[in-house]
Structure 1
């Protein structure tokens, strides 16, 4: 770190988290209620909290930051709610309906459901305009671009008030000139619109994927542009010396212009930083197999890291839209502190996915919410401090929580409020366990081989119950758990993905030379981009990969390769790596079969200096940190157990607390169920382990 501070901001559905690190390794965490109607308002409110604690003006804090980093849900929310910009599509004539045909595919789980509704189209049919042009699969032009068709499309878009345009032609990745010329015409006739070229955003084989990715990018681009401009302007007004960085769904940072041009990378901006943070907090314990779970106010996010490498998705359906660009693999479900409890038509209790969010919020927030939520259940069960959350800044109303559960669940189901609350707790846990199984058991991983890392403000109240259900013996709970994604941002590097298509068989020297030439080209673009951003040669790291398959196969798999020259000598290493990866994925390999490359990709990192690691001193013993006792429920019978409550703030390194117990940190509450023991490590994380003899 070159300046006094580094600031990470993660905007969630209920809270916006702020993590401020200084040179000494001290890390402070702040929370402000999210303001979806104006996301910059939450940033202002959070900086006011930081200013109050440090006793210095917000502009002095910002001007002394070497990096201000923003993870945002703006793009994700626009896609979920279908409130993106009015979009037009220019495509090859005859391909206007490829978005709707969707390769004839229905999402898994609905393939044979005739009543499953079609996906909402981001571009209505009348704004998808086909133009006469055609490029063949060898890159030759069969029909030249008809510029009058492009101009006619622009006339329609102008009349309809289109804000953003995507252009995607068949085989444009092999001959992009038609797209580029069409783009020039759009810029000439519609100078105010945002333009996305499919061959530039996603230069890979597969026309449907490329078109869908370009449309999603165009749909979000004006929204992200306005957001980035507002945030950048605000930070400049506070004297920021460096441009604000934004967190991308590929797990790295980018400047605002990159996020505007490549808005599709902003979709999973927030949870994408969780794996980096999870690996970081597990390093002191020598753990590289990590499941990071993040339960906030609205959603529950799960990421998996195996042997220090986090799963990356490409060419997937996300919220029913095909997206080709690399994204950290995040399993998301509607399970958060604001998830609402309800009774279905069969008289069974259900939890979520609908959420009370931050407005009106859970009933216990006292902001008008009347429906019972997970937070209300945790308060009734004795897990949460009735005096309030976030150091008392968010007071809780236990009576309103009790009444919401009684009226909507307990009385209709003829049970006590305590039993109803524990039922809510159990059901939401079961939903989260099913999500964890999807990223572990269903993908061939045994969850018992992993460490469970807790992130998010609500996770710590559920973490031992989740681990118990999954058979996981070890939990790592950072003191910064409720802001772990914001922390993950400040320890991440700048990251850009550069791609090209290369449909070549690996059986001749010309193919090897072409692949090497393409790598050199795209990496040259990336290095120039990073150098303009202030990174020098030693700070730039490159990783290469190839999408490969056996000749005759339909789908390819991604294989990471070294940064060596691709030639007749190194090609055998590449083939061996492919055979090995193919066997890992599909249980067999065919070394005698011809291998072909479909796409190439280079990931370039601008390595950022990391803050010093947090250290916990001696502090006080658990006995001196004991605040008192509270009656809490740990079983379905609803019986209350007198449970010790500890103040986590003054606890010193190596403090050991046995369950049942509750540890109250400023921004999270840790529930240690019977059969578990927590030890505070000097690195600032609680290591929570199962006591086999005492387990339930």
Structure 2
């Protein structure tokens, strides 16, 4: 850290987390309720809380921050709720319906479901305007663009009050002239509109993916622009000397202007930092296979890292919209502390995906909520402190939680309150276990080969139960678990992805030269951006990848490559890497078959220095942290047993807690179920190991 502080902010559906790193002191975690109607209000509330607890005015803290980083769900929420900007599409005439045809198939899992509803179109049919033009697959122009069509579209968009315009023509990735000319006309006629040019945002082959990505970007751009403008303005008022950085879905940081222009990179902004944080907290234990799970108030996010590398998704359906740009692979479920328990038409108990959120929140919050939630169940089960969460700043009402579960679940099912609460706990766990299986077992990974890292404020109450269900024998729970994504932000690097299409066979010098030239051009662009961000060559890193396939295949796979000149002498290295990757993904390879490149990508990193970690002092034994006992339920019969409760702040390095037990940190509660043993490491994480029955 170059200055005294570094600040990370992660805005979730229920809580907004703040992690403040202070040089030579360590990190502090703060939480406030999110304000979905005005996300900047939660930021102001959080900054006020930090100022109050430190006894230092915010206008003294912010100017002394080398980085202020914001992960936001603004884009994600707008997409989920279909509350983006009114958007128009300008496309090649005859291709107005490509985003609705969707390559002729439904999403995986619903392909043969005739009753599955079609996706809501972000741009309705009447706002898609075709333009007469045609570029061929070799980049030559067959039909010049009819500029009058573009002008007619603009006139119509002006009457309709369009805020944002997406432009995407067929084969524009091989000749951008028509798209760029159309964009110039739109700027002249619609100076207030935000414009997304498909071949600039996602310059790769596949018209449907490019058009859908451009539309999604355009749909979110005005929302992100207003948000970024408000946040940047607030931090400038507080004296910020560096621009606010925003966390991107690709796992890196970017300045506000980049997030406004490339809003599609903000969709998974919040949970995308989890893998970085997960690897960081497991590094002292030399673990590189990590599954990070984050249960907040609204959702449950899962990421998997194998051998230190986290999977990136490209060209996927996200919330039913095809997104081409790289995104950290995150499995998201509607399973959080606020997930509502309900009984379906067949009389079966369900939990989620509906959530009580932060307003009104769980019944036990006492803010008007009357529906039973996961948090209410955990309170009834004895896992949570009835005196309140977040150090008592969020009081809990046990009576309201019991009433909600009894009236909505227990009495309709004819079971006891305790069994109803444990049933909710079990069902939400089963949903989360299924999610973990999807990122591990269904992708060929054995979860028993991984460490389970606990993130999110609600996860600690479920973490040992989840590990037991998956056969995982080691868990890492950092003291900063409830704000782990915010912590992940302050240790992440600036990251930009640059892509180009390059359809060539790997069999001639002209193809090799073209690949080399494109890589150099992309990286030159990235280095300019990084230089503007204050990064020199010494703290810059470049990685490359190619999308390759055997000639005749429909789909390609991404192959990471080293930075070397490609020529007749080195091309065998590319082919070998592709064959190995193909076999890893599909269990076979064809070394004798011809190989072609489809797209290429350069990823440029601006490497930031990491804040120092303060070591936890040696403990005096867990008895020194014992604060009392509480009756808790660990079995379906609903029987309560008295278990010790430990104050996490009084535990020291080396202290051991035998399950069953409960450890109360200020912002999270860790339930150590029977047959599990927790040890606090000096790095600030609890290592919880399974001890088989004797």
**C-alpha distance in structure 1 between counterparts of 2:691 and 2:674, whole Å:** 9
Query: Paired residue for 2:416?
Result: 416
What displacement does 1:62 show? 0.8
SS at match of 1:7: strand
Output aligned runs, 1:305-384, within 5 Å: 305-384=305-384
User: Is 1:286 aligned to residue 286 of structure 2?
Assistant: yes
Which residue of the partner structure matches residue 584 of structure 1? 584
Query: CA separation in 2, counterparts of 1:283 and 1:25?
Result: 21
Report the alpha carbon displacement of residue 620 of structure 1 after superposing the two structures with TM.
Answer: 3.8
Secondary structure of the corresponding residue to residue 391 of structure 1: helix
> 5 Å matches for 1:221-236?
221-236=221-236
3-state SS of paired residue (1:448): helix
Q: Give the match's secondary structure for 2:604.
A: strand
Q: Equivalent residue for 2:433?
A: 433
- 2:516 maps to what in 1? 516
3-state DSSP class of the match of 2:115? coil
Residue aligning to 1:242? 242
Structure 1: 5+ residue stretches without partners:
none
The residue number in structure 2 matching 1:202 is 202
State the distance in 2 between where 1:440 and 1:534 align: 39
Contact 1:25/1:611 (8 A) holds in 2: no
In the alignment, the residues of structure 2 paired with residue 539 and residue 25 of structure 1 have an alpha-carbon distance, to the nearest angstrom, of: 25
Matched, 1:573 2:573: yes
Contact conserved, 1:25 with 1:615, CA < 8 A, in 2? Answer: no
Matched residue SS, 2:209: helix
- For 1:686, the equivalent position in structure 2 comes to 686
Structure 1 segment 290-309 matched on structure 2, within 5 A: 290-309=290-309
Name the structure 2 match of 1:526. 526
State the 1:447 CA deviation: 0.5
Cα distance in 2, alignment partners of residues 68 and 284 from structure 1? 26
Shift of the alpha carbon at 1:614?
Answer: 3.3
State the shift of 1:108 in Å.
1.3
Conserved in 1, the CA contact under 8 Å of 2:344 and 2:350?
A: yes
In the alignment, which residue of structure 2 is the partner of 1:104? 104
Instruction: Specify the alignment match of 1:500 in structure 2.
Output: 500
Distance 2:261 2:4 in 1: 31
Cα deviation, residue 613, structure 1: 2.2
User: 1:663 maps to what in 2?
Assistant: 663
The CA deviation at 1:515 is 0.4
The Cα of 1:312 is off from its aligned counterpart by 0.5
Task: Tell me the SS of whatever aligns to 1:649.
Answer: helix
Aligned residue for 2:160? 160
Query: Any idea what the Cα deviations from partners look like across 1:245-304, whole Å, max 9, x if unmatched?
Result: 000000000000000000000000000000000000000011000000000000000000
User: Which whole-Å CA distance do the structure 2 matches of 1:273 and 1:45 have between them?
Assistant: 23
Q: Please give the alpha-carbon distance, in whole angstroms, between the structure 1 residues aligned to 2:440 and 2:236.
A: 44
In 1, Cα distance between equivalents of 2:86 and 2:25: 46
Are residue 54 (structure 1) and residue 54 (structure 2) matched?
yes
TM-score (norm 1): 0.99
Determine if contact 2:213/2:322 at 8 Å carries over to the other structure.
yes
The aligned counterpart of 2:143 is 143
Q: Secondary structure at the match of 1:96?
A: coil
Q: Report how far residue 621 of structure 1 moved.
A: 2.3
Q: What is the CA-CA distance between 1:25 and the residue it aligns to?
A: 5.2
Name 1:483's counterpart in structure 2. Answer: 483
Q: Secondary structure at the match of 2:89?
A: strand
Asked if structure 2 preserves the Cα contact closer than 8 Å seen for 1:461 and 1:669, the reply is yes
SS at match of 1:358: coil
Normalising to structure 2: TM-score of the pair?
A: 1.00
Q: Is the 8 A contact 2:454 2:478 kept in 1?
A: yes
Classify the secondary structure of the residue corresponding to 1:502.
Answer: strand
| Alignment-derived partner of residue 627 in structure 2 | 627
1:593-608 equivalence runs, <5 A: 593-608=593-608
SS at match of 1:265: helix
Contact 1:505 1:511 in 2 (8 A): yes
The Cα RMSD (Å) is: 0.6
The answer to whether the 8 A contact 2:7-2:68 is kept is: yes
In 2, distance between residues paired with 1:645 and 1:396?
Answer: 17
Match of 2:113 in 1: 113
Instruction: Determine if contact 2:619/2:654 at 8 Å carries over to the other structure.
Output: no
Q: Displacement of 1:619 after TM fit? A: 4.1
Q: For the residues of structure 1 that align with 2:614 and 2:401, how far apart are their CA atoms?
A: 37
How far does residue 624 in structure 1 lie from its aligned partner after superposition? 1.2
Tell me the distance in 2 between the aligned counterparts of 1:135 and 1:619: 70
Give the secondary structure class of the aligned counterpart of 1:543.
strand
- Assess if the C-alpha contact under 8 Å between 1:17 and 1:30 holds in 2: yes
* Residue 405 of structure 2 is aligned to residue 399 of structure 1: no
In structure 1, what is the equivalent of residue 126 of structure 2? 126
1:464 paired residue number: 464
Helix, strand or coil for the counterpart of 2:650?
Answer: coil
How far is 1:565 from its partner? 1.0
Cα distance in 2, alignment partners of residues 221 and 677 from structure 1: 48
Distance 1:350 1:648 in 2: 33
Instruction: Tell me, in whole angstroms, the C-alpha distance in 2 between the residues paired with 1:127 and 1:265.
Output: 24
Instruction: Map 1:440-459 to 2 at 5 A.
Output: 440-459=440-459
| Cα distance in structure 2, aligned partners of 1:539 and 1:143 | 47
TM superposition shift of 1:516: 0.1
TM-superposition CA deviations, 1:85-130 (whole Å, max 9, x none): 0000000000000010001110111111111110000001011000
